Chain A
Amino acid sequence: MVEDKKSMKMDVETECALEQEDIKSGKRSGDYILEIRGISKSFPGVHALSNVSLQLKRGEVLALVGENGAGKSTMMKILAGVYTLDAGDILIDGESVIIGSVERATNLGIALVHQELNLCDNLTVAGNVFLGREPKKGLFNKFVDTERLNNDTAEVLKKVGLSVSPSAILRELPIGTQQLVEISKALSINAKIVMFDEPTSSLSEHETEQLFKVIRDLSKQGVSCIYISHRLGEVKEVADRVVVLRDGKLSGCLEKHEINRDAMIRLMVGRDIEKMYQKNHTVSDKVRVELKDFIVPKRASYPIDLTIKGGEIVVLSGLVGAGRTELLHAIFGIDKRWGGKIFIDGSEMHINTPAEAIKAGMVLVPEDRKLNGLVVNMEIDNNIALPGLKDHLSKNGFINRDKVDELADRMVKLLDIRLYMTSQLAESLSGGNQQKVVLAKWLSMDPVFLLLDEPTRGIDVGAKAEIYKLLEDLAQTGVAILVASSEMQEVLGIADKIVVMCEGRVTGELDPLTCEEEDVIKLATESAVC
């Protein structure tokens, strides 16, 4: 096993670390703006990164790919000074540096463009770009020099080809423009290295093209870019070189001419992809769940019809903001639907609150685990007991503690949740185990209709496989399952039927056995039709 690992590492090193001798002798060190040598980072219960090395050339666009939990974001956050590393060296321009804080990263010329917009949408464009670094003037040098602020901003905006007024209020601009403002902010510190974390997840096709043009321009000006994305098509288009991470380790490295989908996927998931998604449940002919003319709140113009058979796993695919989460929330009664009917096993269900949904046999594993899935600072057993407390685990309003303990122990065993006692706080578990607690909490209700929103986001591969296996087993018992997922491998791997959404509308249904990733993306980006 160790030998195996080592040989793999050797491979990777020979592939990626070009001419080590040249670097040591100093001849070529000028080529690398950034060098990472054997860095490691652990969180309680997880080795997020272990012994990863990579180099970034001047003016190069390096794509960093890998599954969720592979360590890409951790790597970015270390470089951006959000996390400190446990071991290893980072060299910038050949000099060893310690990036301890975001401020230090900024001074070193490293900028991070976040996946979620990190902007104050009540401020102007200029106010955002120079937030915290506003030019000052006047009494005690305490007043903002608005004129200079706007001029400086206009200059930066020109670099990214953005033609909005620096004094425009941010929230009045379209989301793609806001993303470009975020990039301008990164550039305004005269960054030498710009990191993009999933920058296109909320951009339209046109805006994505615009972004690539900006990246290429930057590259020409000698700025190096690190580009993180799940969309392998984009990576192929924009990257000069690809580094693949898997489970916190370097899995491989592809030069420009070697970049293609299959090679990347092979490095991303390894050999066990078939094992991960094993489909052996049978879908019954009987429709278990039916939505008729279902209208998601605030998306009133597009009624949705959907049927799910017993034992069928239907996956909702689409871009961020396609309305998948809103649909799930409306089905579960979190937000009141604007119209339509829900049938379970042929009878109409009147669902206006989560409590009614649970009574009807539905459960929802929400997307945001910490906000909606769990009461993280409550004990694991109490979390698991929460939905069934009133109807199943109490008598005359008094909790039956023995029943709660018995249930918690049973669910912990069933889902193989790794803990040292059921009364520890849920927040002390790793992401994967926390997600299992959420599942435990809902499976304890014996659902007939299981809704899951991005069930494997931010958890490691092992836990992921276990969750897929669990969904398999549940489907086998005849439960109707509806999953919203953005991860293409997952969509194609677990679905019996793929339903693609775009801007609040169902744009098509696909059979995973006959369709390609491109078909899904095409339906997901059909914005012209919407």
Chain B
Amino acid sequence: MLENNRFLKTIKGMKRLGGITLLLIAIIIITVIIQPRFFTAYNLRNILRWTGLFGILSLGISFVLITGGIDLSMGSVLGMVGAIATYLMTIGGWPVWIVVIFIIVLSAFLGLLHGLLVTKLHMQPFVVTLCGLFVYRGMARFLMDDRTQGYGNTEFGIKFLAAGRIPSAFWPAGEVPKFFQDWSIPMPFLLLIGLGIILAIVLNKTVYGQHLKATGRNESASRFSGIHTDNVIIVAYIVCSTFAGFGGLLFSLDLNTVQPSSLGNMYEMYAIAGCVVGGVSLRGGEGQILGVIIGAAIIRVLYNAINVAGVSTQLEQVVLGLVILIGVAADEVVRMISARRKVRESMALAQKALEESRAAAANR
């Protein structure tokens, strides 16, 4: 019975993931048909890199969404932290590893702040993080005096995190063969996979993960069960902001320059979009890490496909919005149909039982 249990559960989970995986494959096939150039090593490498960078943001916000909250400040945190990191490493002259620790602590602190405001002051997550969105963007511009920050041509080992590729970067000696030069995996994507595995373990195998899901589905019942729901929620916000800060570092390294007024604009929306497409419910309680990664990939592939296929750039957001809408609507429709079928089945059963009892009475 137990094996049976887990087996059925896995199947159920796979059905959902199967849907979005199919969507991803469909988008790729359609694009390849329209424009075969899509399927080149260079283009795919680009997609993987962007998927990695944006996917990390989606991973970060997924815990907050599972609690039923939201974090609109992600993009601004990313911009501010990215600018600060660049400044400290270049003009500030701080050692790289101290800068990394500093920005991780800084962004974790911002998350702690959001979490405390949401749980202890009972403020709405939307309001708290909306204010964050303004404040951190403004702070970034003020601190940097609106000047663009950049790493220039200085060689920082840490640039490897954003620009490096594996295995070509670690080729023992001599010329890297052509195949590996083309198909080495960009570091951001590997980081995404690594962080994804960690978060998936936390979500599915640990007490915290179980408490997170329970809190997201029913905070009150979780509290009645002795769970410190406030702490669970605060940790989710810390994870979110920390991922945003780390993302800021990666984006600054990837772009090599940071404009305090624009880096990260709208990125919180891309992060949320990735989660939503990947099956995370904004009502809380629902979500799988693999889904989030696939969802983030869909957004990036779509973006790339629009460009490669030659759709006017003015239209790209229209296409993006519509595809997300249709994807999520299709999911809801499937759910409604199966719910209705269930109701009909149970009604039929009740009717049958009634007729049987009547027939029995009539026979008497």
Assess whether B8 is interfacial by the CB under 8 Å rule: yes
Supposing A50-B357, A394-B207, A397-B207 touch, asked if A355 and B228 sit within 8 A by C-beta, the answer is: yes
Residue-wise interface mask of B (273-288) relative to A, using a CB-CB cutoff of 8 A (1 in contact, 0 not):
0000000000001000
Shortest A318–chain B CB gap in Å is 22
* B15 close to A (CB within 8 Å): no
Main secondary structure of the interface of B (DSSP, over half): helix
Interface string of A134-175 (1 = CB under 8 A from B): 000000000000000000000000000000000000000000
Is there a chain B Cβ closer than 8 Å to A527's Cβ? no
CB within 8 Å of B: which A382-400 residues: 382, 385-387, 389-390, 394, 397-399
* 9 A-B pairs closest in CB distance: A42-B350, A355-B226, A358-B226, A375-B218, A423-B5, A386-B225, A354-B226, A44-B346, A372-B224
* 19 A-B interface contacts by CB (under 8 A): A42-B354, A51-B358, A334-B223, A353-B226, A355-B228, A357-B226, A371-B218, A372-B224, A377-B218, A377-B285, A378-B218, A382-B210, A386-B225, A394-B206, A397-B206, A399-B205, A405-B5, A421-B5, A423-B8
Contact A373 B285 (CB under 8 A): no
Distance, CA A488 to CA B364, complexed state (A) = 39
A374 at the interface (CB under 8 A from B): yes
A217 interface residue per 8 A CB criterion: no
Contact, CB under 8 Å: A371 / B221? yes
Q: When chains A and B are docked, how far (Å) is the Cα of A353 from the Cα of B354? A: 49
Mask, A393-414, CB within 8 Å of B = 1, is 0100111000001000100000
Q: Inside 8 A of A208's CB, which chain B residues have their CB?
A: none
Residues on the B chain within 8 Å of A371, using CB: 218, 220-221
- B141 CB contacts on chain A under 8 angstroms: none
Closest to A404 in B: B210
Residue A364 lies at the interface, judged by CB distance under 8 Å to chain B? yes
The residue on A at minimum CB distance from B342 is A44
A39, chain B: closest CB distance, angstroms:
11
Tell me if B314 is interfacial: C-beta within 8 Å of chain A: no
Interface positions, chain B 332-364, Cβ under 8 Å from A, are 346-347, 350-351, 353-354, 357-358, 360-361, 364
- The CA-CA distance from A196 to B318 in the complex, in Å, is 54
| B9 within 8 A of partner (CB) | yes
Contacts of A51 in B (CB 8 A): 358
Q: Considering the chains assembled together, what is the distance between the CA atoms of A77 and B223 in angstroms?
A: 33
| Bound: A169/B354 CA distance, A | 48
Residues of A in contact with B (beta carbons under 8 Å apart): 2-3, 5-6, 40, 42-44, 47, 50-51, 86-87, 332, 334, 353-355, 357-358, 364, 366, 371-379, 381-382, 385-387, 389-390, 394, 397-399, 405, 409, 421-423, 441
Q: A40-B354, A371-B221, A375-B218 are in contact. Are A390 and B207 (CB under 8 A)?
A: yes
**Chain B contact residue count (CB 8 A cutoff):** 38
| Bound CA–CA A357/B227 (angstroms) | 11
Q: A2-B364, A371-B218, A375-B218 are in contact. Are A50 and B354 (CB under 8 A)?
A: yes
A374 touches B353 (CB 8 A): no
**Does B315 belong to the interface (CB within 8 Å)?**
no
B214 at the A interface (CB under 8 A)? yes
B residues with CB within 8 A of A: 1-2, 4-6, 8-9, 205-208, 210-211, 213-214, 217-218, 220-228, 285, 346-347, 350-351, 353-354, 357-358, 360-361, 364
Contact at A399–B360, with CB atoms within 8 Å? no
* CB < 8 Å neighbour of B364 from A3, A397, A398: A3
Q: Please determine whether A421 and B207 come into contact, CB atoms closer than 8 angstroms.
A: no
Pairwise interchain contact A87-B205, C-beta atoms closer than 8 A: no
Are B206 and A386 in contact, CB atoms less than 8 angstroms apart? no
> B223 near A354 (CB under 8 angstroms)?
yes
Contact of B361 with A372 in the complex, beta carbons under 8 Å: no
Name the A residues within 8 Å of B361 (CB-CB): 2, 5-6
Chain A residue with the shortest CB-CB distance to B357: A50
In the complex, A308→B264 CA distance in Å? 61
B145 nearest CB across to chain A (Å) = 45
A114 to B224 CA separation, bound complex (whole angstroms): 28
| Interchain nearest-CB distance for B213 vs A (Å) | 7
* Closest residue on chain B to residue A373 by CB atoms: B221
Chain A residues with CB under 8 Å of B227's CB are 355, 386
Structural contact, A375 and B207, CB atoms closer than 8 A: no
In the complex the two chains form, is A87's CB within 8 Å of B207's CB?
no
